[in-house]
Structure 1
């Protein structure tokens, strides 16, 4: 099965003039914003954009040759390999990177990063980073369930406006993976009308949706036909909240929640392997999560989120990697923190964890069953000649 890295080997020798920008290029540039370009790519108004080939060289030379670059627990470790390939290929190496921003405020649960890519075909792709390894970033994501606008969404609008001013005559493409996809759509909806007119396309790659009141706004409806939401076949993250636009379902080599990893999405030619719909269990998981959320008032959701992150940070951890590396210490501190929560919040946490575990197990079982059936059909075809 082929993925983003295979696509680079297949199509990397073709410029955008020879083969136009496509949905796979979009995900590659969305993943690019997870790279820490601090000190390499200038911020807005801080200087000319840097050629991708040079930016990649400067980033990679920070690490010993052959050393695995740890991107964190949930950020794909293939990203440095992707960057290394991009720097060698005609399709990507001459692209220019600018307007790099990376802000983290743990006290206020704010995580935002983005980079602007001059793609070389007259457009600029604004790549919004999804949730990284920081607990602050994850807490901000959970705030979406009860807050009308999280800090990263506000910063995304400001960022798009800034990029639009720095590139006054360029068409704009917006995209991101996970929360980054949500930020891409949000910025496109709430930017000034003059900027919105310049937006060529918006991609939400398995990004969560929005509350119903956003989907009926005129500025959302004006942009809706330019928004593409891509989700894997058993999507969980991308199905959260509401989407006003149709979504594209793609195949993945992983099962369950691990399908959120964009490097698991299957590529064929210039696009992903499309499926007709998400799996039955994926739809059931979506319905179960929505029902559970609807049963909680905004105040209950807030208490749930505060309780959850009180438990997660009880050991002093600030990232998921911290939790993983000192699991015994973290587990003990989290158990003690659970005891300090009020009964309603503690019960809600237990219910939520149980719900996710049961849903993921069911998704895994269905995926394995479908894969087994597929292999049996292929075997019969071979046997029948």
Structure 2
């Protein structure tokens, strides 16, 4: 299957004047906010925008001589994505500005964003999804039990600040994973005058929201401009509640790994669409929602705190730390798990079993689907061959 890197090879020579901004462009800019542009791209109100090609040169000069590891769950193709966008007429002259990167491990706060002047009279505000840090993942889990997590509040403030920096210019908001959730949240809760200037909001497999958010007049006003994209076996993007209209796309991966935007199938200037998410994804979604809704808000918060208490007992601050020292991490994590009360420990184990079994079942379902496709292709080849012989 072709992906966003292939798209840059195929259509990167077409400017936005020749072929208008599309959903694939959105995912590319959403992924670029994972790049650490600190010291390269100015923050909000901090200086002149930097052409993308120039920012890429500075980034690779800064990282020259050492491997670029994006972490356990952040795709390592992102530096290559930056390299190809910097070489493409479609993206190279876009100007980057407003880069922020905030991390507070004590308060479990993680927020990063980037503004791209697209050159077609719009600015794309790219909100970074969850990175490699445990703090970022803890904040994600708080989405189920807090009215507003710190990153959502920062996303609203960032949108307002960049709207002030770019007056009278149309805005696009987007992000992948948690970044998609932040984009929608910022679009819903930014000042009304700013909301009117939003041309589109893109949530690329981002978690949803509580029911009461979807029924707000502020959300209803924006709903037709919100574009939600999920892969066929989406788990992350189907968490909590979503707008009814979402696009399901094909993926080259199986199970939870379909969350990786580099696995999404591209044809021309759009993703390859499917009619719906898989049956197993729907069942897992129902099982997770049922489990979450069976807990009170207080129980959810206690669960999140306890889960990360176990992870942080290892001394790790990132998922990469956990992976690198997995053997050393196990013993303190087991001790921390034993210290939990029985109810919390059972809740944590139940949650892990749902995710583990769902990933296994989705993977098997994906293998079965690919096998059936292969048999169908081989059958058609055999028919054509028999026809030629006849």
TM-score, scaled to structure 1: 0.99
Cross-structure match for 1:50: 50
Cross-structure match for 1:101: 100
Query: How far 1:87 sits from its partner (Å)?
Result: 0.7
Query: How far 1:232 sits from its partner (Å)?
Result: 0.2
CA distance in 1, matches of 2:378, 2:35: 42
Query: How far 1:135 sits from its partner (Å)?
Result: 0.3
**Matches of residues 4-19 of structure 1 in structure 2 within 5 Å?**
4-19=4-19
Cross-structure match for 1:305: 304
The SS at the match of 2:110 is strand
Cross-structure match for 1:205: 204
CA distance in 2, matches of 1:152, 1:48: 26
The SS at the match of 1:172 is strand
TM-score, scaled to structure 2: 0.98
The SS at the match of 2:120 is coil
The SS at the match of 2:364 is helix
The worse-fitting range, judged by mean Cα deviation, of 219-228 and 240-249 is 240-249
RMSD between aligned residues? 0.8
The SS at the match of 1:61 is helix
CA distance in 2, matches of 1:245, 1:312: 35
The alignment of Structure 1 onto Structure 2 pairs a total of residues equal to 384
The SS at the match of 2:129 is coil
CA distance in 2, matches of 1:344, 1:257: 27
CA distance in 2, matches of 1:293, 1:169: 42
CA distance in 1, matches of 2:135, 2:282: 29
CA distance in 1, matches of 2:64, 2:125: 30
The SS at the match of 2:302 is helix
Cross-structure match for 1:176: 175
CA distance in 2, matches of 1:376, 1:68: 41
Cross-structure match for 2:74: 75
Q: Do residues 250 (structure 1) and 249 (structure 2) align?
A: yes
Post-superposition CA distance 1:188-237 (Å, at most 9, x none): 00011110000000000000000001000000000000000000000000
**Matches of residues 82-231 of structure 1 in structure 2 within 5 Å?**
82-231=81-230
CA distance in 1, matches of 2:81, 2:326: 30
Q: Do residues 265 (structure 1) and 264 (structure 2) align?
A: yes
Query: Residues 229 and 245 of structure 1 are in contact (CA less than 8 Å); yes or no, is this contact kept in structure 2?
Result: no
Post-superposition CA distance 1:278-303 (Å, at most 9, x none): 00111111111111111111111111
The SS at the match of 2:89 is coil
Query: How far 1:69 sits from its partner (Å)?
Result: 1.2
Cross-structure match for 2:288: 289
Post-superposition CA distance 1:50-98 (Å, at most 9, x none): 0000000000112236x54100111000000000011111000000000
Query: Residues 265 and 272 of structure 1 are in contact (CA less than 8 Å); yes or no, is this contact kept in structure 2?
Result: yes
Query: Residues 51 and 97 of structure 1 are in contact (CA less than 8 Å); yes or no, is this contact kept in structure 2?
Result: yes
Post-superposition CA distance 1:233-252 (Å, at most 9, x none): 00000000001241100000
CA distance in 1, matches of 2:355, 2:315: 25
Query: Residues 52 and 93 of structure 1 are in contact (CA less than 8 Å); yes or no, is this contact kept in structure 2?
Result: yes
CA distance in 1, matches of 2:328, 2:150: 31
CA distance in 2, matches of 1:377, 1:87: 40
In the alignment, structure 1 segments of 5+ residues that lack a partner are: none
CA distance in 1, matches of 2:76, 2:131: 12
CA distance in 2, matches of 1:362, 1:144: 26
**Matches of residues 328-343 of structure 1 in structure 2 within 5 Å?**
328-343=327-342
CA distance in 2, matches of 1:244, 1:79: 29
CA distance in 2, matches of 1:225, 1:68: 42
CA distance in 1, matches of 2:89, 2:178: 30
In the alignment, structure 2 segments of 5+ residues that lack a partner are: 385-390
The SS at the match of 1:138 is helix
CA distance in 1, matches of 2:359, 2:319: 20
Query: Residues 114 and 128 of structure 1 are in contact (CA less than 8 Å); yes or no, is this contact kept in structure 2?
Result: yes
Query: How far 1:27 sits from its partner (Å)?
Result: 0.1
